[in-house]
Amino acid sequence: MPVLLALASAVVYGVGDWFGGRASRVQHSVIVAATGQMVSFVLVIAVTIGMGTASPGVSTWWWMSFGGIVGAIGIASLYHGFAHGDVAVVAPTSAVVGAGLPVVAALISGERPSVLALCGIAVAISAVALVSGALGGHRHHTPPRIVALAAGSGACFGLMFVAFDHADPNSGLWPLVIARVASVPLLLGVALVGRIRPIRHMASMRIAVLAGVFDMGANWLYMVAVRDGLLSVVAVVASLYPASTVTLAFVVDKERITRWQALGLVLAVFALVLVTLSRS
């Protein structure tokens, strides 16, 4: 079940990121991220209050505040990258870094995945590297600074994945609330200091809202998955989100996919099979 939940989170993450990238072609990426996170914050806090779950301890507040901050930086950076580079490059570059950090953290903390799971993890990271153009031949028009920004956003996501693993498993939806308590003021503060204002364009704002709702849904799926599964496995499966992002970019935005990127997508499916078999 954790692997399936992680896969579902990857699909939802990918769709949400695609929406966020489209909105960021009109609005500033900080505005897109802040809009989506404010709307999703209202939704999740209403549900949390309705559930009546007790507030968690200080440790969960600390970890998820940290996770909310790095997650906000990561998502705003990713949206900016989508707006100024090829989605088929930016998304996988972010994901390969985001997948690697939790694996290292998990192994250091004592997790010992099976040999089959380790093979799946290696194949998954290779798949993401292929789709991003880090391995194999590639043709794209993404500036090096955007590729570096994508890698930075991946580091933020990797740290966020680790933060979720440290949250109290009995805290209900509170980790999501805490993350937004930290991220929303940060994004609004950046917009205020940078004098970044939304553009009067309702279509892009609606898309930004959709991006935020999908991002919250993906966070919830990942949180549930990592509560019952190994961080090293769940984080890697969740990091397969470029598959849906790149597919949407290919089908809707007509971005070209090279044979190396296509091979990467096939390897991503193979990696998922290996990881799933390791948990059966």
Give the tens place of pLDDT for each residue, 130-165. Answer: 765 555 555 556 677 888 888 899 899 989 989 998
Q: What band does 38 get if pLDDT is binned at 50, 70 and 90?
A: very high
Lowest mean pLDDT among 128-137, 155-164, 195-204, 231-240: 128-137
**Of 125, 96, 99, 113, residue with least CA distance to 230:** 113
- Contacts for 231 with CB less than 8 Å, ≥ 6 apart: 102, 105, 106, 109, 111, 161, 162, 165
What's the predicted TM-score (pTM) here?
0.82
Share of the chain above pLDDT 90, in %: 28
Q: Look at residue 91 and tell me whether its pLDDT is greater than 80.
A: no
Q: Look at residue 280 and tell me whether its pLDDT is greater than 60.
A: no
- Three-state DSSP class for 230? coil
Counted domains in the chain: 1
Give the position of tokens 């935020």: 212
**Of 279, 167, 151, 276, residue with least CA distance to 222:** 167
Q: Which domain holds residue 242?
A: 2-278
Distances (CA, A) of 203 to 23, 27, 35, 135, 199: 8, 10, 13, 37, 11
Give the position of tokens 């955007």: 146
Distances (CA, A) of 181 to 5, 44, 211, 233, 278: 25, 11, 18, 28, 37
